[in-house]
Each structure stands twice: as C-alpha cells, then as structure tokens.
Structure 1
Amino acid sequence: MKTRIEQEFVNNIEKYVSQTGHNLIIKITRESQFEEADAIEMFREMDVKGMIIFPTEKETYNDAVLRLTLDKFPFVLIDRYMENILTYSVTSENEAGTYEAISYLINKGHKNIGLISPIITNTVTHERARGFENAFLKRKTTINKNLWLTLSFNEIAQSKTPKLIRDFLLNKPEMTAVFTMNAELALYTHLAISSLKKEIGRKIELLTFDPLGISGISFIKQDIAECSKKTVELLLEQIEGTYKPKRIYVPVELKISESVEILETIIT
C-alpha cells in the first residue's frame, strides 16, 4: 500500500466489488509470505467467497497460494502471476509497454540506456526486463547490461537509494538515458539526476513505468481501472460455478512529456 498504484488498485477493486453487492475485506501483508499465508488461512476460516491476491515479490511461490489452486478455491492473482501453474490472473502488458518505451529512447538516438530495478524475482520484473532486452535485440543493437542496477529490497529506501543511484550514474558517464521499473525508483533516480545536473551539468533522460507525479517525465501508464474490473469479473465467474483458469493482459500506454522539470535537491 506504499505506492500510488497499489492504492489505486485497492480503490478500484473495492468500487467494483461493492457494485456486485459484495463486501471487500483487506489484509496488508507487507511483502511477507508468512503474513500472506496467515491471511489466506484467516480468510478461509472466515468462509469468504473468494480472494484477490497481490502476491509477494519472492522467487518462490507461497504454498498457501498453491493450495488454493489445488482446491480450486475462487481467487485471482493481480499484477503478477505464477509461471507454469494454471491460475486466474490479471496483469498489465509489462513486456510490450517496456519494449515501446525503450524503443522510443533508442529512436531518439540513445545508445547507452540504463535500467534501475528491484531484484528481478517475479513475473512483473521479468517481463519488463525482457521488454527492455527485446527493444535492443529486434534492432540487432548491442545491449550493455553493465548499465543495469538491481537493488535488493532492503536497499530501497528514501534514506539510501538516491545516493546509491547517484554513485551508479557517476560511474557510468556514457549513460544518456535511464529506465526505472516503478515510480518509487523513478523518484529516487530523479533526485540523483537532479543532483548531477546541478553539480556537473550532466543531463540524463528518465523514463519510468507508472507516473511519478512530476511534470516533465515520460512514463508508461497502466489501466488500473480495467485491471481491477477484469479481476472482479474473473472472481465472480468462479464464485458462480465456472472454473476455466485464464491469464488476462491489459494494454498500457506510453505517455511522452515534452517539458522537463528538475528538483533542486542535492544528495549528500
């Protein structure tokens, strides 16, 4: 619930659930698989009719989620899904959106494009990384993965991440553009870029997945309302007795900003 996107998901899901005459009960697991398993067990004991799960960002699947699949209990995974396991899921077109964004930067003349990402552990980060790679591969252009910075979850915090990114950018003088996997990393990268521009006059173009809320930064926009609506529809389908697992992809849109606004923030 710490990002605007997650808040929009909850707001829209609650709206569509209420429209069906049902009530939404929320449990926040804070990226803990233990909390996630406890929440699933708690909801099953409460005899809820179905669940919508925003899975934790881990490399392995939660056994509690797998049990739901085996039991054919009504549930939908939103934003992420389980590869090689047939479940209901709704996610944005992460790969296609990132491909379009990186293609845009390449077409502008950028050759050395950086990537700043959490550790690549789930379907969202895998798909976005694949979209980044394919933009280069389909043009038969060399991709420099030395310009990729992946951060562990305990490294992502306002107190430390901007400095880590600033140091990374300083050590990569050839980089002229950077793509961030989400809005939180975009904010920290924006602070780092602003610092370098103020100190040494270096300009780096920033493009990100999800809006940062600062004018002048291009981004990929997810259709959160449509994702939420599809999720509720798939859950109701199961509650009403149909079980035909499917994976739904919702289109995204690249939003190009023509102006640039720089934060006057110095990272120390």
Structure 2
Amino acid sequence: MNETSSKPLYEKIFESVKKQIVTNVYGVGERIPSEKELAEAYKVSRITSKKALELLTNERLIVRKPGRGSFVADPDTDFGPVPAATQAPASAFKAEMTTIGLVITDFGNSYGTGLIYGMEEASRDHDCFLVLRRSFGIPANEELSIQKLLHLGVDGLIVFPAQGEYFNEEILKLVISRFPLVLIDRHLKGVSAASISTDNAEAARKATAFLFELGHRHISFLSPPPTDTTAVEDRVEGFIQAFAEHGIAVDKDLWVSDLTSTLPNSFNENNIEEDVQRLMAHLKRRPEITALFAIEYNIALLAKAAVERSGLRIPQDISIICFDSPPTGLGGGYAFTHIRQNEEEMGRLAVGHVLRIMQGQAVPNKVMLEADLIIGDSTAIARQEYP
C-alpha cells in the first residue's frame, strides 16, 4: 500500500485483490481474505474492507457465501445464464443500503429537531438509512445505544455526546478502531475524531457584545454546574472575551452556575421551583444586574419566571439573552433575543462526513459553523437606576 493517488482506500484494496485474482494468486474457488483480515492487513476499518469486497462482488470476481466467506468466482458456474423467468434484478448485485446510526441526548423545538431534519434530508439525498436512539444525556444509555447500533450492523455513527467530564468508553473504542464516526456539538480533546459544532465562543462573544451596545455592564451568566463540556466551556470563553474586548472587568459574583433543573433526569417541578427561587434571591441580592445571559433556552425560561415573580419587567428592568429559542409564529412561545444555531446544515454535514470517512476520504477534524443573533422582545437599552 505505497500508492500515493487520491483514490479512496476501498478502491485501492479492490484493485489489489482484483490483481491477485487476475494473476491467479487466488484461483477459481479459492477463499480470499475476509473483511476482518483485509481490514487488519491494510490497517483500515471493516467498513472500508467491506466496501472493497462489495466492489469485487459487483464485478462478479467473487461470490460471498454467508457463514463461509468470499471465494473467487467461476464465471461459467457462479454467474452462468439464468432463465429469464428466474433472473434476479440488476440491483441484486449492488451493495446493501448504507445505514447510519444517530445517538442524540434528546431533541425538542428549541434545539435538536433541526439537526434531525438536516440529517434526514442528507440521508435521502445519499440513499441511506438513519437509525435514531436517544440517550437522554445519561452516559450508560449512550454506551448501550452505541453497542446496540453496532450489533445492528450500522456502517457509521453520528453521536451527540452526553454532558460529562469524560467521553464514554464506546466512543473511545470507535476512535481507536477508526470506525466512521462524527461527533455533534462536542469535540474530543487530544483525540482525532471528526466533529461538527457551532462556533460557540464567537456566538457568545457576539451576544455579549450586543448587550454592551445596549449599555449593559452588570450581566449575570446563568448555567448548570461545570461539566467540562466543550460547548459550555466555549460559551464561557466567548462571554469573557467580550468583556476583555470592551475593557470591562468580569465580576463572577454576578454569575449563577448551579442551576440543575435543566440537567438530564432533573427536570421536575421541585427542581424547577428551587432554581427559580435561587434566581429570585440572586436578583434581590444583586440589584445592579440589568441583563441575564442564559446558556440555553430552558434556563432562559427559569430566568423569565424569576424576573416576573420578583416584580420586575422584561426588558425594561432586566434584559434576557440565550442560546436557541423555538419559533414564535402561531403562538409558539415568548420571543427571546437569542443565538440561532445552523442545525440543519450541521446535520447535513454530519451525514456527508460519515459517508466520506466510510469511503476512505479525509474530512476536517473540527468544523465550526457561524450562528446568527436574532433580536427578540427580551432585550432593551439598560436602565440607569436600580428598580
């Protein structure tokens, strides 16, 4: 395998094995190396070696016998004339349809649905199946979902990892084995795994700069407890960067970073009420706050409830800005000023990247998409005195 051409790896394997068949290294009826053996010999994934064997089958160079292996075909017996009434359609010799597994924490109208729309659209365009499993943000569910999809025989995987300090063992195994894998909304530190996400740092910087333009200086950053998730880290970085660019000192005492009701398996009435009360107490303790930056939509809803129950007005007394917000047409909800991520493009790119990896092509290690700032009803010029 010293070729330097730009051909996909599976084509190089195909041509190598074909040459060995044509030159009688493997004679008619002889067994050729299996998917696993080819993958190990050429140091590629089994998806790549499987594709090479499918090409050999399509050219009628081999016959594949379930449970036994692949054998060099005899053109006169293996592919001899067949009566017209019993001839199989030409599609019988084509490869089976490609299947891509998707493991996602969850999805809703504020975030996630657009991702799936984009993936479905791309899978139709490329004539492949998409199989969905939800982990609900629980690492154990995520591992089990990956295992089940691999057992099902998916050709590639797209994973939206659960929030947490570490990626689960199954994801690391996929990276090490070079299985076609694309991560969504996260990137794996120190490990070469393809990822597609929003440019979260730039998006947060843009949203914070907008608040500065409105005259806000005392801004409270609202988030769950630190989880070492790259998306969260990047948003914090962008928030702090905006302060630095405007020459304003960051006051972390204004932040609230222990909101837990929006975490997986924590969304219940008791936890929601505790978080709302926590925010109300914070606003009472720090009356100089004029704006709240919520790291996600559900936290923005908590903030809205806390502000209104404190007798304050949005946006006259307190402005709120957040990441993601559902469409507001036809009574769809409150129109927050928010960062809108390009979910559908993210989904389309994820499918395209998986398919290219399967074909042995190189893809960027990290793709970050620009997000848009959408002005809603929740922001206004900062008030000049305490309410």
TM-score, normalisation: structure 1 = 0.89
The residue correspondences of 1:244-259 to structure 2 (distance < 5 A) are 244=363, 246-257=365-376
Distance 2:213 2:120 in 1: 41
Displacement of 1:197: 3.1
Partner of 1:142: 249
Distance 2:348 2:199 in 1: 16
**Which residue, out of 198, 222, 225, partners 2:341?**
222
Distance 1:31 1:55 in 2: 8
> Which stretch shifts more, 150-159 or 228-237?
150-159
How well do the aligned residues superpose, as a CA RMSD in angstroms? Answer: 2.2
Distance 1:248 1:198 in 2: 41
Partner of 1:265: none
TM-score, normalisation: structure 2 = 0.63
Partner of 2:293: 179
The answer to whether the 8 A contact 1:31-1:57 is kept is: yes
The residue correspondences of 1:67-82 to structure 2 (distance < 5 A) are 67-82=173-188
Distance 2:189 2:246 in 1: 28
2:350 is the alignment partner of 1:231: yes
The answer to whether the 8 A contact 1:53-1:75 is kept is: yes
Displacement of 1:75: 0.9
The answer to whether the 8 A contact 2:325-2:335 is kept is: no
Displacement of 1:180: 0.4
Partner of 1:89: 195
The answer to whether the 8 A contact 2:192-2:365 is kept is: yes
Identity of aligned residues (%): 23
Partner of 1:264: none
1 or 2 for the larger relative contact order (CA 8 Å, sep ≥6)?
1
Distance 1:69 1:245 in 2: 15
**Which residue, out of 17, 24, 27, partners 2:133?**
27
Displacement of 1:43: 1.4
Displacement of 1:71: 0.3
Taking a change above 3 Å as real, the CA distance of residues 259 and 73 of structure 1, as seen in their structure-2 partners, is closer
> Which stretch shifts more, 134-143 or 250-259?
250-259
2:119 is the alignment partner of 1:13: yes
The residue correspondences of 1:194-205 to structure 2 (distance < 5 A) are 194-197=308-311, 203-205=317-319
Count of residue pairs brought into register by the alignment: 260
Q: Which runs of 5+ in 1 are unaligned?
A: 262-268
Displacement of 1:61: 1.6
Partner of 2:28: none
The answer to whether the 8 A contact 1:86-1:245 is kept is: no
Partner of 1:111: 217
CA offsets 1:27-55 (integer angstroms, 9 cap, x no match):
11111111111111111122110011000
3-state SS of paired residue (1:150): coil
Taking a change above 3 Å as real, the CA distance of residues 253 and 47 of structure 1, as seen in their structure-2 partners, is same
2:295 is aligned with what amino acid?
Answer: M
**Which residue, out of 208, 223, 231, partners 1:124?**
231
Displacement of 1:8: 2.3
> Which stretch shifts more, 6-15 or 127-136?
6-15
Partner of 2:38: none
Q: Which runs of 5+ in 2 are unaligned?
A: 1-105, 381-387
Distance 1:139 1:259 in 2: 23
